[in-house]
Structure 1
């Protein structure tokens, strides 16, 4: 399904230039109201870009007749596959500078189609960019460079079926092009769920989650897609392979681990056996306020080590809580949620709230156990969580620089890491723009040994130079993360935007092994060039 198509089961059209659905974007008046919140933004919003205004050249390659039915050179399809959905992508589209637009878009229907397309591309030096929902925020689905004759975007969303469900083993064989809502709709009649709900859930695919080692919504317990994989089927230019479907194995290095997180640079994941869970029937949630952010960090660490395993354990600093509508009094807010398929969760929620209060938490109203409607702060946060990408795009139309980045570090580094990001990134934004920036933080995932801070930066940009401003700010952010030995990404992947920092994070012997794997599996170097490797 091209990114500009109408989604199955709806009459809504995906936006080619921005996040999500075209009809969900803020209108001009709302954009102006958002811009008024940041000093220095434009007087009026940038116009919504039109595909007709883009410089889309004739394709530089033509597929053979045997593949022609799989491939299109339609300009709207090509434009929709040119970039992901990062701030850099949105502002480039708004400014009419989308970068290299793919020459062709392919929609394979099965493994043989993928293999045939890779064979043709290898013979003719055509770069192949695997594409799922197109929600990458790190430059993972675009081509940068000039070393290939042409660029083919390989859209897998026609391969979207749940092929088998094994209820005895509680697992399913699913094609990689299945979007989140499609996948869950087909599991629901069986009372099962993959239970993987990233913020991009509506607009991303199983294959994309696997190729980027995506993290889901849940703050503790199994949350990375890695945790749910039984086996993978992968098509590479050197051949196809399927790993054995096993609950666990100690037979050498895991073949699945080679392709999880490989971002399409080593092969194309076409299907996977995935571990499933029963759908939860019992839910409860609450929020707790703190006047001291550092005491709130201590509370979250205690909850993460308690064995209570909350499904949600989001800590919002005062700025993040205000923006989400979770509070307006300068408090830090902890959002807690529990769920279970087997029994009530009220006692676990009570224990978590008691732990939070023992560390200085106070004064929030708790939802009743097994009540699926949360207290007002929890409800406000959920609504804001889903709306945030659209608001970012509205601010981008006002010339603002608004973007996020995330990381993970051990608990001993977390307080200084957060403080240095706030100070150094804020200073970098002020230097780049002349305007003070908002730098907010929330914890999205927590572990007994560490946490994943997620930062939001908002500042007025320099008109026409918004990309350069963000690149300067992000370079400073990367330096801070490296200084504290915090990962360049907890769940957003590497892509092209994180390459410099990824090169510093990975051990040199592993880099040598990765290069060797690339040479063996992709000898013509056509698969997603520039991702993970030069």
Structure 2
């Protein structure tokens, strides 16, 4: 019984976010907790359980003939038992592995995918497609109906190549299992970049981005992976599903658009054609300070409706700016940036700055274009480190989580007040509920909330569930979406059912029945098992 996890120079953390060698020393965050957040420290730094102490149930079936890349190694099973949400991380940290897969299949080809799905459908075994395992909504946990013979996690990380680049059309055919850094490194060999950088970039995969309709680098225009996809190929229990590669089409409902956001229930995405571009050569950025968050929101609305289309237009409230080092807690901060592969963007930046000044924004002058100074750099570094910080805060006894949504501008002020208040009430004092706008549209923002509170050690799951329910109920009651780019998974399913039309749910169930008659693919996600 040996592990067949692909060789990596850096080892992934088995219980939390990222790589083991990048973990943050929890003790070093104690001053942040006490001095910046003002939370009492309840005790010693808690360590995760020993991996070797976790007992797993025996695999419920023998290794089938003809399935390559098969592993029942305990570490492989544990690493594929969860995504990386707060409850996922907490349970793994404490050694509570509720639903481990019976086995992990590391597919190295479409033939491996086909063989696994054929066997699973025949034997009534559930299959959970698995990319980077970064789901924060319960999307990859092998929690399936008890009447299944068992469940396997189908890992796509060996499908990790840029197969073909079309420099004329600026597009590339890329396998679904490639993670962000490897994707960018291979495109760079052709002088190209996909320019898609979600917070999970170092770990998440192209297939995962497509399956969850992930949000990326651009704050306007190209906000979702949807905007970069030309075509998608997936393997289903009923055969292959591939859309024609086109820049656009009006030929009925689009096959690839149906796979976007399908979360593994309609097929295993194996590759896609996506839009790429040369690396931008013209950049200009600045940090703008606002004494009032809502004044900053008005500036962002006008910028979003101006047609300037900034690449970055993220407004961070004063408390979050303080937490990330982008401010001192007295001002909200707008991280504003433009970029182009073709032309100078200083004029666009100056026009956006003028709009911001009209709403009370202040900024430091800088010579020429560039990074925009310390606040922009501090925010960028903190943005990438946030998931690591969450794990370290857990060790200190701090509940830390995020949720995101979208709403139209006319309802935004009341929405922000209602959701923030409901979340604070559920957490109780002391707590912090902060907000930033990650993506902005002419008709509304995508707010991203961060919650921090002293954890009730031993009762964190109940504490989190109360917060999550209060926030989710408030979001739907105020007219927002249960998710803007984090997907539905199992955690958001209850509110997704309330948000979508019943007839659409019936149509989605019919589509799943057509491509997956036995219902083996990620049962319970999006539609009933």
Mark yes or no: TM-score above 0.5: yes
> What is the CA-CA distance between 1:17 and the residue it aligns to?
0.8
Distance in 2 of aligned mates of 1:6 and 1:379: 33
> What is the CA-CA distance between 1:33 and the residue it aligns to?
4.1
Residue 212 of structure 2 contacts residue 485 of structure 2 at CA under 8 Å; is this kept in 1? Answer: yes
Partner of 1:395: 393
Distance in 1 of aligned mates of 2:275 and 2:62: 40
Distance in 2 of aligned mates of 1:4 and 1:323: 37
SS state at 1:211 partner: helix
SS state at 2:410 partner: coil
- Segments of structure 2 that go 5 or more residues without pairing to the other structure are none
CA offsets 1:269-322 (integer angstroms, 9 cap, x no match): 101111112210111110111112221111000000111111110101111111
Cα gap change, 1:40/1:164 in structure 2, threshold over 3 Å: closer, same or farther?
Answer: same
Distance in 2 of aligned mates of 1:365 and 1:65: 66
Distance in 2 of aligned mates of 1:482 and 1:66: 47
Bigger mean CA deviation after superposition, 94-103 or 73-82 = 94-103
Cα gap change, 1:30/1:5 in structure 2, threshold over 3 Å: closer, same or farther?
Answer: farther
2:403 to 399, 405, 409: 405
1:377 to 375, 378, 393: 375
Cα gap change, 1:15/1:319 in structure 2, threshold over 3 Å: closer, same or farther?
Answer: same
Residue 5 of structure 1 contacts residue 13 of structure 1 at CA under 8 Å; is this kept in 2? Answer: no
Q: What is the TM-score normalised by the length of structure 2?
A: 0.96
Distance in 1 of aligned mates of 2:15 and 2:390: 13
Partner of 1:104: 103
Distance in 2 of aligned mates of 1:444 and 1:105: 35
Partner of 1:78: 77
SS state at 1:512 partner: helix
Partner of 2:414: 416
Residue 48 of structure 2 contacts residue 94 of structure 2 at CA under 8 Å; is this kept in 1? Answer: no
2:90 aligned with 1:91? yes
SS state at 2:414 partner: helix
Cα gap change, 1:116/1:3 in structure 2, threshold over 3 Å: closer, same or farther?
Answer: closer
CA offsets 1:244-263 (integer angstroms, 9 cap, x no match): 11111111111111111000
Distance in 2 of aligned mates of 1:93 and 1:209: 24
Partner of 2:153: 153
Residue 31 of structure 1 contacts residue 45 of structure 1 at CA under 8 Å; is this kept in 2? Answer: no
Distance in 2 of aligned mates of 1:419 and 1:6: 48
Residue 32 of structure 1 contacts residue 45 of structure 1 at CA under 8 Å; is this kept in 2? Answer: no
Partner of 1:437: 431
Residue 4 of structure 2 contacts residue 106 of structure 2 at CA under 8 Å; is this kept in 1? Answer: no
> What is the CA-CA distance between 1:329 and the residue it aligns to?
4.5
Cα gap change, 1:321/1:3 in structure 2, threshold over 3 Å: closer, same or farther?
Answer: farther
> What is the CA-CA distance between 1:65 and the residue it aligns to?
2.7
Distance in 1 of aligned mates of 2:239 and 2:92: 37
Q: What is the TM-score normalised by the length of structure 1?
A: 0.95
Partner of 1:201: 201
SS state at 1:201 partner: coil
CA offsets 1:149-184 (integer angstroms, 9 cap, x no match): 211010001011111111121111111001111111
Aligned length: 523
Distance in 2 of aligned mates of 1:344 and 1:98: 53
2:58 aligned with 1:58? yes
Cα gap change, 1:236/1:368 in structure 2, threshold over 3 Å: closer, same or farther?
Answer: farther
Partner of 1:16: 14
Partner of 1:274: 274
Give the aligned CA root-mean-square deviation in angstroms: 1.5
Residue 4 of structure 2 contacts residue 70 of structure 2 at CA under 8 Å; is this kept in 1? Answer: no
> What is the CA-CA distance between 1:147 and the residue it aligns to?
2.9
Residue 27 of structure 2 contacts residue 396 of structure 2 at CA under 8 Å; is this kept in 1? Answer: no
SS state at 2:121 partner: helix
Bigger mean CA deviation after superposition, 174-183 or 29-38 = 29-38
- Superposed, 1:171-210 pairs within 5 Å as 171-210=171-210
1:529 to 514, 523, 527: 523
CA offsets 1:44-63 (integer angstroms, 9 cap, x no match): 12212322111212211223
2:497 to 478, 490, 503: 503
Distance in 2 of aligned mates of 1:135 and 1:3: 20
Bigger mean CA deviation after superposition, 509-518 or 31-40 = 31-40
Residue 400 of structure 1 contacts residue 466 of structure 1 at CA under 8 Å; is this kept in 2? Answer: no
Distance in 1 of aligned mates of 2:330 and 2:343: 36
Distance in 2 of aligned mates of 1:44 and 1:34: 15
2:351 aligned with 1:338? no
- Segments of structure 1 that go 5 or more residues without pairing to the other structure are none
2:256 aligned with 1:262? no
Bigger mean CA deviation after superposition, 269-278 or 20-29 = 20-29
Residue 94 of structure 1 contacts residue 397 of structure 1 at CA under 8 Å; is this kept in 2? Answer: no
Partner of 1:117: 116
Distance in 2 of aligned mates of 1:344 and 1:485: 40
SS state at 1:192 partner: coil
> What is the CA-CA distance between 1:374 and the residue it aligns to?
2.9
2:468 to 470, 474, 496: 474
